[in-house]
């Protein structure tokens, strides 16, 4: 049983302090590589010229552990009988001459003997080493001879395990390097296993002393699975079974740790003591524990460096990103001549890694061990400084990786116990990429500071809290105050005011309200006087005070009766004071709905002081609300003339121009003027957002305006609703739209608009129909007379829930509320056309919608569809489609309808393609256009590649549409010969729409004609017929199967007759029945009679001539037969058999051969050069005419042989 190791035994930088047993237990990485390398070492014969090994890997990759593991294994029996492992310090700083290296080897030999408790030679060896060290005339040869003498005495071959071998090679000159190579390449010499953090130039440069002297291996970073295995093994070694069982719960955190450590075994081991205890819910705990764990180790390593190396390393570490030589020179004030050797040294020992500089000459440098860089940044930063937040942010981004969002989200609801945790939360807010979470966390941090400021007034000065955040907090507290006042909770009101004054000590409104509270409710005269002085000032008049009280009652306390009394008291004290008249007007207009009294009050204020701007602006608002637009414009302009820097009338003018007078340019200018005068007023930003979205179609600018309005006042519901509309209807940002609507609802629960718009989002974008219905009904409950949600509810019932009765009722309700609302008329038209098949009513509804709104394109499109698909009024359909397009050039549906009209009804192929492409440019996600364009390419233009792309695009946009899969199957089957793909496409179509007969029929064709699955074909045709018994094509396909492949001639005759019963002039069934009677059943007379009844169609004229020829061949009348064959050939254009009659050519040729006239047919082909033009067909006829067809085909060129063989197999099915 393996021993359980304590955490203190986990070796990070000095594995040599462990016992051999512990080393073996601890060696849990690079095991396969160790086993391979060790086997090569022990396979060396005693007197061989040895193979030497060099292991290269960055710091922490396990080089030292590997060397220690080899040493421990060599100390075991039986290996210790033949080898002795010599280990050296990680850095042999004393080696600058080769003889010193050999002296170190003697020392290492003594250490090895001491470790074995081998006292027999140890005293003598130590004495000789001391003597040799004193000798100032030592040379490498002499020392090596001494070393060889002692290894022979111990009768074991030395294995030199040398770490940082590159440092030794750097210090000895080329001559000594050649000497060392010569020694190591001699028979019986020591085996050298070296390790280096970098590639050693002396081993790879051709002509260098050690070129090709080593077998070089590279230790790459561990994979994530290997890193996970390291942690699992460490858990086992330390007896932490809980960690072993729960480790996979932390997979995302462990992925982040893996990225952090760079896959270095040592850093993973460093982190293990922290990880094995489980992650803390509090990041601060994790950070403190991590710092405690690694600081002594990293600090010691750093302090081992020479002072100038520390300066350089400090500059690199603090830069975080790779740093150039020029940057280093500026930071360290060292010249290149001093920097270069320091950098080389740091690269050589593995502290730094070098790369090509970006947009700079030379190289760039960064710490190779990235975790050290993180530790250094954290350790070098001071509290509550921006640098600390930056460093902490960097750490969090790297250490917590994907978990950072979860941690940040958890921190939102976690209480901050002290200022340090606020610092942590602010760093987290900077680190994460999720703006929403970041905003919440930052808001929580600021709120915590606001709360802490109640007891510590100086704390806010230690942090840079944005003014807008302070202003928002003040606004929030005012909202609290309003709620408390509504409930007459004046103690809470006072407490909130005092909190507000901690944030904004000069807030006059707060002091004024405190005055009111102390005066009327608390009866605290001294505090009342103090608050009065700060709120009103020593020069305040009684009338001004009562006016302020009126404002406070109205705006803060919501006590409108008291407000009216206060304003009237102010007026009574000073009739020439215009302010209370203006306040009284606002009270009447905005809160009491007394518009006549409001107008009178505003005019009274103006009479008292005609240069008083506010009542003019407020009068403009009043006039706009009651429909007096000219008077409103005059009032706004008067206010502006009195005070050009007052923003409110400019905003009112912007609203007037946008919503009432349709002067959009003037509206934009007015809003911008208002904004320039008062950037912190959210209203003109919101109006500008609406203008850009709904009138000017400037969506980027609209989004910016809404966001600006929200940043100014995030409790203002209107821009949230407008932003939701923008995201839903214009930018297709669905998640953001939902969030915006919900925010608007949370701010104004009784507003009908965000509920109605949220219903649209759920219906049209998210397919959440239950939620959509609930949202519409909520909107209706808030305002039953608002027609829009009724109309949208009708759409939901019609298009999504298939509740046609309810849809009709909803549309009619919307119409009853607003007869001039065109949308429900259009919805009703669609319901009547597509669902209820009430064609007359549909036409009436569309025309009613058009009469209400001639610029509404949708009912025109619906009417066009009605004319095209239901009434077959082609000219009228084209007219209304074009009318719809002219009204709304960005409406794709009428272009799709027009394309269909051109493709399927008028055969205007170019115009159809143009219409489809224009529709796609307007709406590239309109799946039906792509499907129709695919049909145009496949069936009309024979652009097969483009057709496939179009179908696939349609499917990618609407994967559940069976028709797209069906036509794609046809393309694969008929045009691309991809039969497996065709089968898959048909089956997909069937799975999506089991009641669609066409994919079943097409699958039958595929099984019959291409895959030779005749039983499956019969089943497919029968399924198609069961779904649509009146489709003659399905019956005809089944008849062909029975005739040509299953030999069921009676059944074939029955199904052909069934097709002709359904459609007596269906010429395909007639021809096939002719073939059946004449060529399979011997009913020549019946066949001839039926054939004579067929009116020849130009599209199959060649097939008709072939049948004439066949009847002549049956009569053995070659003189009549050959001219008909010639006529059939004359019909063929472009030297290619037509796809619709190709099968008839093969069938006819097979019958002619069967009748013994194959040679006759070949002669006619030769006369028309068809032995060349139609060579595969000609060869197939020739092969079937000659008995030795297989041998004959061997004489035919391979490129002709293959298609000829296919045609021959088809023709064999038709031979009598």
Cβ distance 231 to 272 under 8 Å?
yes
Q: Please, how many CA atoms are within 13 Å of residue 101, restricted to the half-sphere of its CB? A: 25
pLDDT, tens digit, for every residue of 912-952? 999 999 999 999 999 999 999 999 999 999 898 899 999 99
CATH code, domain carrying 202: 3.40.50.300
In a domain, 78, yes or no: yes
> What pLDDT does residue 388 have?
44
Which whole number is the average pLDDT over 178-206?
A: 87
pLDDT, tens digit, for every residue of 621-648? 999 999 999 999 999 999 999 998 899 9
pLDDT, tens digit, for every residue of 880-899? 999 999 999 999 999 999 99
End-to-end CA distance of the chain: give it in Å, rounded: 85
Residues 910 and 935 in one domain: yes
In a domain, 247, yes or no: no
pLDDT, tens digit, for every residue of 799-823? 999 999 999 999 999 999 998 899 9
Residues 937 and 797 in one domain: no
What percentage of the chain carries pLDDT values higher than 90?
A: 49
Lowest mean pLDDT among 536-540, 817-821, 980-984: 536-540
Residues 1176 and 1202 in one domain: yes
Residues 772 and 819 in one domain: yes
Residues 200 and 76 in one domain: yes
pLDDT at residue 550 is higher than 80:
yes
d(CA 290, CA 286): 6
Residue 537, CA distances (Å) to 508, 517, 540, 544 in order: 9, 17, 6, 11
pLDDT at residue 1126 is higher than 70:
yes
Lowest mean pLDDT among 200-204, 842-846, 1118-1122: 200-204
Give this prediction's pTM.
Answer: 0.49
> How many domains does the chain contain in total?
5
> What pLDDT does residue 543 have?
81
> What pLDDT does residue 1007 have?
94
> What pLDDT does residue 385 have?
35
d(CA 344, CA 13): 23
Return the SS3 of 300.
helix
Angle at 1172 between CA 1170 and CA 1178, to 5 degrees: 60
Residue with the two structure tokens 């932390």: 250
> What pLDDT does residue 359 have?
62
Q: 774, 809, 837 — which closes off a domain?
A: 837
d(CA 913, CA 896): 10
Residues 938 and 790 in one domain: no
Angle, to 10 degrees, between the axis of helix 1175-1185 and the axis of helix 1158-1167? 160
Which whole number is the average pLDDT over 47-76?
A: 89
pLDDT higher at 530 or 192: 192
Which of 992, 991, 987 has its CA nearest to residue 1006?
987
Rounded to 5 degrees, φ, ψ at 609 are -145, 90
Residues 1113 and 1198 in one domain: yes
> What pLDDT does residue 14 have?
55
Residue with the two structure tokens 């797209």: 964
Rounded to 5 degrees, φ, ψ at 648 are -60, -45
Q: 946, 961, 996 — which closes off a domain?
A: 946
Lowest mean pLDDT among 147-151, 209-213, 684-688: 209-213
Q: Is the dihedral of CA 53, 58, 62, 68 positive or negative?
A: positive
Residues 61 and 208 in one domain: yes
Return the SS3 of 408.
helix
**Confidence band of 389 (pLDDT split at 50, 70, 90):** very low
pLDDT, tens digit, for every residue of 279-308? 554 444 555 566 666 777 677 677 767 788
In a domain, 588, yes or no: yes
Return the SS3 of 215.
strand
pLDDT at residue 353 is higher than 90:
no
Which whole number is the average pLDDT over 367-389?
A: 59
Q: 165, 193, 221 — which closes off a domain?
A: 221
In a domain, 1052, yes or no: no
User: How distant is the alpha carbon of residue 1185 from its chain centre?
Assistant: 64
Residues 43 and 137 in one domain: yes
pLDDT, mean over the chain? 85
Cβ distance 374 to 260 under 8 Å?
yes
Return the SS3 of 1014.
helix
Cα Rg of the chain, angstroms: 46
pLDDT, tens digit, for every residue of 427-459? 677 767 677 888 888 888 888 888 787 777 666
Residue 686, CA distances (Å) to 31, 620, 672, 751, 910 in order: 66, 19, 11, 16, 46
**Confidence band of 562 (pLDDT split at 50, 70, 90):** confident
d(CA 49, CA 51): 7
> What pLDDT does residue 494 have?
87
pLDDT higher at 741 or 497: 741
Cβ distance 311 to 370 under 8 Å?
no
CATH code, domain carrying 584: 1.25.40.10
**Confidence band of 21 (pLDDT split at 50, 70, 90):** confident
DSSP characters over 1125-1140: HHHHHHH--TTS--TT
What is the token pair recorded at 1150?
Answer: 């097979």
Residues 870 and 791 in one domain: no
Rounded to 5 degrees, φ, ψ at 215 are -90, 115
DSSP characters over 732-773: --HHHHHHHHHHHHHH-TT-HHHHHHHHHIIIIIS--HHHHH
- In b/e form, how buried is each residue of 916-952, taking b as 16+ CB within 10 angstroms? bebbbebeeebbbbbbbbbbbbbbeeebeebbbebbe
**Confidence band of 251 (pLDDT split at 50, 70, 90):** low
- Give every strand in the sheet of 157-162, ordered side by side: 83-87, 157-162, 191-196, 52-56, 214-218
**Confidence band of 395 (pLDDT split at 50, 70, 90):** very low
Residue with the two structure tokens 């707060």: 510
Residues 764 and 896 in one domain: no
> What pLDDT does residue 1138 have?
85
**Confidence band of 145 (pLDDT split at 50, 70, 90):** very high
pLDDT, tens digit, for every residue of 665-695? 999 999 999 999 998 899 999 999 999 999 9
> What pLDDT does residue 55 have?
92
pLDDT, tens digit, for every residue of 106-115? 999 999 998 8
Residues 1169 and 1129 in one domain: yes
Cβ distance 256 to 399 under 8 Å?
yes
User: By residue range, what is the domain housing residue 195?
Assistant: 30-221
């Amino acid at each position: 049983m393996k021993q359980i190791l304590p955490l203190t035994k986990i070796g990070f930088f000095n594995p040599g302090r462990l016992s051999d047993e512990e080393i073996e237990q601890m060696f849990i990485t690079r095991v396969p590589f160790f086993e391979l390398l060790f086997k090569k070492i022990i396979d060396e014969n005693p007197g061989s010229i040895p193979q030497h090994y060099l292991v290269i890997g960055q710091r922490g990759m396990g080089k030292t552990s590997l060397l220690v593991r080899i040493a421990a294994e060599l100390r075991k029996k039986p290996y210790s009988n033949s080898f002795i492992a010599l280990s050296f310090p990680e850095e042999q700083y004393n080696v600058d001459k080769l003889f010193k290296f050999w002296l170190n080897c003697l020392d290492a030999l003594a250490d090895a003997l001491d470790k074995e408790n081998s006292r027999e030679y140890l005293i003598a060896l130590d004495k000789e080493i001391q003597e040799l060290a004193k000798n100032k005339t030592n040379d490498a040869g002499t020392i090596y001879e001494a070393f060889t003498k002692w290894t022979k005495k111990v009768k074991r071959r030395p294995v030199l395990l040398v770490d940082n071998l590159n440092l030794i090679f750097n210090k000895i000159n080329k001559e000594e390097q050649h000497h060392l190579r010569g020694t190591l390449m001699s028979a019986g010499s020591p085996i050298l296993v070296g390790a280096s953090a970098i590639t050693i130039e002396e081993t790879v440069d051709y002509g260098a002393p050690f070129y090709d002297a080593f077998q070089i291996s590279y230790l790459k970073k561990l994979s994530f699975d290997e890193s996970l295995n390291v942690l699992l093994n460490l858990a086992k070694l330390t007896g932490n079974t809980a960690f072993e069982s729960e480790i996979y719960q932390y997979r995302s955190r462990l992925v982040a740790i893996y990225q952090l450590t760079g896959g270095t075994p040592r850093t993973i081991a460093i982190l293990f003591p922290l990880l094995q205890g489980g992650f803390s819910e509090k990041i601060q705990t994790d950070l403190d524990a991590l710092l405690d764990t690694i600081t002594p180790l990293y600090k010691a390593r750093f302090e081992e460096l020479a002072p100038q190396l520390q300066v350089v390393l400090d500059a690199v570490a603090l830069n975080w990103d790779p740093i150039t030589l020029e940057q280093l020179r500026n930071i360290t004030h060292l010249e290149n001549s001093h920097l270069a050797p320091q950098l080389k040294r740091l690269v050589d020992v593995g502290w730094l890694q070098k790369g090509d500089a970006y947009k700079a000459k030379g190289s760039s440098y960064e710490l190779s061990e990235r975790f050290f860089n993180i530790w250094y940044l954290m350790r070098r930063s001071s509290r509550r400084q921006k640098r600390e937040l930056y460093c902490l942010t960097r750490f969090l981004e790297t250490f917590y990786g994907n978990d950072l969002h979860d941690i940040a989200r958890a921190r939102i609801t976690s209480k901050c116990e002290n200022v340090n945790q606020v610092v942590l939360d602010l760093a987290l807010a900077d680190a994460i990429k999720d703006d929403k979470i970041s905003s919440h966390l930052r808001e929580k941090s600021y709120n915590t500071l606001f709360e802490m400021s109640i007891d510590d007034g100086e704390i806010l000065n230690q942090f840079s809290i944005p003014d807008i955040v302070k202003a928002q907090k003040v606004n929030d507290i005012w909202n609290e105050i309003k709620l408390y006042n509504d409930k007459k909770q004046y103690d809470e009101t006072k407490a909130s005011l005092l909190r507000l004054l901690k944030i904004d000590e000069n807030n006059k409104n707060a002091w004024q309200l405190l005055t009111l509270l102390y005066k009327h409710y608390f009866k605290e005269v001294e505090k009342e006087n103090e608050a009065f002085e700060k709120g009103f000032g020593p020069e305040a008049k009684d009338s001004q005070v009562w006016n302020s009280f009126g404002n406070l009652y109205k705006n803060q306390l919501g006590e409108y009766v008291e407000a009216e009394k206060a304003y009237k008291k102010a007026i009574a004290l000073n009739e020439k004071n215009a302010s209370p008249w203006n306040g009284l007007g606002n009270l009447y207009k905005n809160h009491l709905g007394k518009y006549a009294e409001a107008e009178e009050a505003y005019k009274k204020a103006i009479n008292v002081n005609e240069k008083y701007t506010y009542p003019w602006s407020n009068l403009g608002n009043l006039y706009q609300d009651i429909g007096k637009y000219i008077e409103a414009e005059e009032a706004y302009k008067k206010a502006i003339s009195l005070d050009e820097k007052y923003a409110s009338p400019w905003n009112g003018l912007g609203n007037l121009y946008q919503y009432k007078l349709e002067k959009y340019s003037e509206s934009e200018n007015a809003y911008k003027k208002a904004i320039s005068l008062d950037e912190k007023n959210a209203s003109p930003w919101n109006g500008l957002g609406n203008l850009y979205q709904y009138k000017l179609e400037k969506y980027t600018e609209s989004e910016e305006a809404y966001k600006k309005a929200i940043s100014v006042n995030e409790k203002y519901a209107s821009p949230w609703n407008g932003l939701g509309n923008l995201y839903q209807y214009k930018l297709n940002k669905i998640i953001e739209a939902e969030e915006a609507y919900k925010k608007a609802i949370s701010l104004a629960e009784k507003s009908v608009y965000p509920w109605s718009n949220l219903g649209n989002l759920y219906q049209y974008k998210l397919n959440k129909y239950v939620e959509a219905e609930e949202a519409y009904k909520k909107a209706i409950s808030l305002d039953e007379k608002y027609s829009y949600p009724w109309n949208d509810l009708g759409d939901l019932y019609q298009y999504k829930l298939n509740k046609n009765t309810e849809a009709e009722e909803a549309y009619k309700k919307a119409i009853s509320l607003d007869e001039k609302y065109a949308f429900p008329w259009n919805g009703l038209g669609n319901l009547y056309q597509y669902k209820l098949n009430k064609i007359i009513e549909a036409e009436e509804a569309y025309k009613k919608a058009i009469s209400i709104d001639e610029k509404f394109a949708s009912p025109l499109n619906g009417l066009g569809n009605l004319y095209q698909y239901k009434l077959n009024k082609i000219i009228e359909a084209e007219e209304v489609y074009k009318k719809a397009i002219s009204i709304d050039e960005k409406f794709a549906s009428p272009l799709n309808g027009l394309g269909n009209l051109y493709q399927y009804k008028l055969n205007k192929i170019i115009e159809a393609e143009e219409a489809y492409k224009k529709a796609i440019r307007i709406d590239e996600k309109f799946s039906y256009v792509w499907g129709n364009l695919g049909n145009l390419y496949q069936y009309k233009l024979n652009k097969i590649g483009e057709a496939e792309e179009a179908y696939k695009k349609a499917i990618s946009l609407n994967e559940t549409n069976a028709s797209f899969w069906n036509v794609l199957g046809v393309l694969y089957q008929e045009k691309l010969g991809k039969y497996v793909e065709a089968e898959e496409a048909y089956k997909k179509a069937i799975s999506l729409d089991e009641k669609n007969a066409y994919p079943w029929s097409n699958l039958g064709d595929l099984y019959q004609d291409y895959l030779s699955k005749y039983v499956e074909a019969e089943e497919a045709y029968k399924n198609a017929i069961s779904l649509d018994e009146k489709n003659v094509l399905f019956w005809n396909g089944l008849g062909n199967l029975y005739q040509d492949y299953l030999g069921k001639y009676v059944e074939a005759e029955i199904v052909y007759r069934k097709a002709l019963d359904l459609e007596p002039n269906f010429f395909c069934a007639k021809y096939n029945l002719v073939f059946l009677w004449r060529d399979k059943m011997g009913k020549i007379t019946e066949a001839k009679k039926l054939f004579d009844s067929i009116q020849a169609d130009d599209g199959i004229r060649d097939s008709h001539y072939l049948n004439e020829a066949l009847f002549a061949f049956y009569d053995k009348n070659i003189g009549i037969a050959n001219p008909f064959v010639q006529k059939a050939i004359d019909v063929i254009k472009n030297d290619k058999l037509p796809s619709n009659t190709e099968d008839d050519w093969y069938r006819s040729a097979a019958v002619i051969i069967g009748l013994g006239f194959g040679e006759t047919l070949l002669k006619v082909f030769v006369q028309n050069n068809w032995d060349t033009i139609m060579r595969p067909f000609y060869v197939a006829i020739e092969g079937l005419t000659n008995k030795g067809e297989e041998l004959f085909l061997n004489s035919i060129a391979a490129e002709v042989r293959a298609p000829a063989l296919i045609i021959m197999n088809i023709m064999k099915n038709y031979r009598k």
